[in-house]
Chain A
């Protein structure tokens, strides 16, 4: 038993594990980038590294403490640096393990004014609602996006709310929940008229198909192009809506009969009695929600890793 413990906690074992993780990571990244790192075998390798490094670090710390108490320690800062560096990696691995065991994440998309109950998305969460007040994009002079903003309100159980502005690199952090600006998209607002029936308003996402009651025809919202330029084809010239166009397709019994480019306010004739008016475009925001109880542990590990790796440099300067 003692032999097994000695081997598992040895540097030799740690180096073998590192070599295996390094080689398999390189191969996994090249051949199976989407699946390899989530595989049980790779996760088991990381856990084995955690076990080995934890035992190895504890042993190093013990030895260091014993030599210090006996007054025999010589390479002070360097030894401490090595122990801190190893402890940092251990904490990062623990943080990652905690996250994979009890961490949660979810993606939500919201339109202006929409309210989502966070406890429906992240389980075991305090009753908390998120409301999107406004999503908007700021543009650079050349029409490229400068920043994406989601102005939200967090509504607590008793109804009192707090406002936040989320943007890329500036997530919202509240009671262990973090909300990130992840993506955005377009919604097409349309009005349909068919025969003598009343006008109906609908909202479509890219790819949605609009069916017409009593007709074998349908309309598909293919894509919104904010700055249409024939030279760029189906790709928008810039994200800024300088020349907004809607690409649509009309189907009859699932067969494409027409594809067209429409402007906002255009009225599209589906057949002699059915019409669709392209009323407007609205943004939706894509937010990433995360609850990672392992994050503070991993963050502490990251700090220790940085401090530990720089200790030998400080020591060399001091010893001169």
Chain B
């Protein structure tokens, strides 16, 4: 089982890397462009297999430790991107989004090489029916923000308004709703576990700051001057905060979420 988890992990890294390169090269070459989507889809299936193997190995959903979260985060990022490409028929952001997936998978291999290969019983605080809904909505939110950031980055590089703009707004609407659910479900859980629904724990605070930047994005988006470049910069800044809330807070600051 461990061997399969490792195999699928490295294979998904390889496929996501090939997909990212194909998307970049595919901007000038139709063959690469067509292959990129297929390689990404195969990469997603392999990523999914790694998650399934992990489920079979641990006997629970892969939503508990940092590496499980990142593996799910990478998989859903690719899935949302593939859905976007099918719907929009635009693939210009594929290279950036697959690049994000590559960094995520690589971070598991570099920062937490053994976490997926071992299993520990859940600590009492994590034994809650709220765990699945809280973490799963966080995976959806983070994955959506990653795709929106990829689209925003391409918009900024192109330096012109394109069709992508409305998609960024749509994907961010979904992700913002998911982030709101994550925060509220986490607050309900915290109230049950610790008796405090909001403790200003570093993770809560930075999730709150992330929520605020996206709330500002939605308020300002009504104004025309905040719909182009400025909005895209905000989306990128929001995603940097998302990454800091996960990596920065987990690995630099100790708090109630220090097990994640």
Contact = CB atoms under 8 A, between A and B. Distances in A.
A33 interface: yes
A147 B177 contact: no
B212 A302 contact: no
A310 interface: yes
A147 B127 contact: yes
A302 B187 contact: yes
Interface of B: 120-121, 123-125, 127-128, 170, 173-174, 176-177, 180-181, 184-185, 187-189, 191-195, 197-198, 200, 202, 205-206, 208-209, 212-213, 215-216, 219-220
A121 interface: no
A29 B194 CA distance: 20
B231 to A, nearest CB: 14
Contacts of A288: 194-195
Contact of B123 (A25, A85, A144, A316): A144
Contacts of A85: 180
B181 A316 contact: no
A191 interface: no
Given A178-B195, A288-B195, A148 B177 contact: no
B124 A18 contact: no
B127 A310 contact: no
A18 B213 CA distance: 9
Interface stretch (A165-173, A201-209, A219-227): A165-173
A15 interface: yes
A119 interface: no
Interface residues of A, number: 46
Given A25-B205, A302-B188, A37 B200 contact: yes
A28 B201 CA distance: 11
A227 to B, nearest CB: 16
Interface string A6-42: 0000010011001101100110110001000100000
Contact of A309 (B170, B176, B212, B219): B176
Contact of A168 (B184, B191, B193, B219): B193
B212 A22 contact: yes
B53 to A, nearest CB: 22
A180 B174 contact: no
A243 interface: no
Contact of B180 (A37, A146, A148, A305): A305
Contacts of B191: 295
B198 A96 contact: yes
Interface of A: 11, 14-15, 18-19, 21-22, 25-26, 28-29, 33, 37, 85, 96, 105, 140-142, 144-148, 167-171, 178, 180, 182, 288, 290, 295, 298-299, 302-303, 305-306, 309-310, 312-313, 316
Contacts of A11: 219
Nearest to B210: A22
A28 B174 CA distance: 30
A310 B195 contact: no
B212 A145 contact: no
B177 A312 contact: yes
Given A25-B209, A290-B195, A145 B181 contact: no
A148 B127 CA distance: 11
B121 to A, nearest CB: 4
B130 to A, nearest CB: 8
B235 to A, nearest CB: 16
Given A18-B215, A169-B189, A288-B195, 12 more contacts: A15-B220, A25-B205, A25-B209, A26-B206, A37-B200, A105-B195, A180-B195, A299-B188, A302-B187, A309-B176, A310-B181, A312-B177
A29 B244 CA distance: 13
A148 B173 contact: no
A240 to B, nearest CB: 12
Contacts of A21: 212
Contact of A316 (B170, B180, B220): B170
Pairs A-B, 3 closest by C-beta atoms: A309-B180, A168-B124, A22-B212
Given A25-B205, A26-B205, A302-B187, A167 B195 contact: no
A29 B202 contact: yes
